[in-house]
Structures are given as structure tokens and as C-alpha cells.
Homo-oligomer: A and B are copies of this chain.
Amino acid sequence: MSKLRFNITMSLDGFVAGPNQSLENPLGEGGVRLHDWAFALEAWRKANGQDGGEVNASTSVVEESLANIGAYIMGRNMFGGGSGPWPDDPWNGWWGANPPYHVPVFVLTNHARQPLSMEGGTTFNFVTDGIESTLEQAKEAAGDKDVMLSGGANVAQQYLAAELIDEMELHVVPLFLRDGARLFDNLRNDPELEQVRSIEAPGVTHLKYRVVK
């Protein structure tokens, strides 16, 4: 059955972005360091149209995170649209002409916008009627494949609180951010988790959990 999966990189003190996130600095102050482990990888670079990079114990984790995904869900900040109504001539997000998704992406927003078809099979769909409806539409688009929740923190918190996530992988990095977006704030309950596996890799540990329903 199609699952809602969720992968995110978290500092040791629980933050997934630094303070003062903005259009200019979407990961917040100091937040970009969270992703050093991924930027170094051939598997990540290839998926994002870049050459070079390493092969190490994180490679299989990244490959697994890219496999069997039929649709993505993300918040508007992660798409790259700021807040408020879309301007008359809106830009097309952070992800360039050929975004690294290659399947339908459902962007949660309060402001309607026509779908945006990009090169390479990515279509951004803008959904204004909440997380449940977004998940339904994404699952329908994904067919037998899974839906991947990409973030950011606010959207992830909403899906966690609603207990709609089936599987979660945390990439825990040895950093303290001390402020910013804390992933596990605002939980309404404490869903039962089962540890699926942990993988040690250079500069990161990958912790995978299944939500018991």
C-alpha cells in the first residue's frame, strides 16, 4: 500500500532549520551546515544535476529515499514562494528549470495558483484545502508508489500531529543550532514508533522509524 514517507536532517538539539528563515536564507542562520553530509555525496549531487562527490555509507540511504516515490508534498516556503498572495508574475521556485523531482509535487499554500509544469516531468500543484486533501491528491497521483513529504518544519509538524506519516527517517548530524525550527514541537500526542534501522555514516546517523497504527 502507498505510504507517506518523511525524511529530514536534524541537528542533535532537534532543529531542522536555523533562526530567521527568509527568502534569501531559506534554511535560516547556520542551517545550511545541516546538509553538508548530503552535498558531499555523488548520489545527492547526481539527483540535483551536479557532478562529482563521494560514495559512502549514506549513499544507499539517499538512493532508498529517492526510490519508489510517485509524488511529493512540500510547504510553500520549500517551493520558494514566500508568503501572501502570489505576485502577478510569480517566479518558479528554488528548483530551477528542471527540478529534481520528476513526478507531481503538491505545494501546500493558502493562495491558489495554476499548476506549473517544468522540464523533466515535475509538475507543481498548489493546494489550498489543507493537509488531508493534499495527501489524498498526492496518493492518487502516486498510484502504487509512495508519497514523500519533503518539509519544511511547519508542514512536517502538521502531518506529524495529525499522525498521517507512516515512515520517518531522521538524518541526525553532530551540530547544535540552539534556535530555529524545532521539528518535534507542537505534537498533539505521542504516536508509537518502531525503530526500523540505524545506519552510521560519515558525519551523520540515519535513524528510520515506522509509525505503529
Contact = CB atoms under 8 A, between A and B. Distances in A.
Interface of A: 12-14, 170, 172, 174-178, 184, 187, 190-191, 193-195, 197-200, 202-205, 207, 209
Q: State the oligomeric state as a number of copies.
A: 2
A206 B6 CA distance: 22
Contacts of A205: 195, 198, 205, 207
A187 B193 contact: no
B187 A175 contact: no
A99 to B, nearest CB: 31
A101 to B, nearest CB: 28
Contact of A209 (B174, B197, B199): B174
A195 B174 contact: yes
A12 B208 CA distance: 11
A204 B14 CA distance: 17
A175 B204 CA distance: 20
Contact of A207 (B172, B187, B191): B172
A190 B30 CA distance: 11
Given A174-B195, A176-B193, 20 more contacts: A12-B184, A12-B209, A13-B14, A13-B187, A172-B172, A172-B207, A174-B193, A174-B194, A175-B190, A175-B193, A177-B190, A178-B187, A195-B204, A195-B205, A198-B198, A198-B199, A198-B200, A198-B205, A205-B205, A205-B207
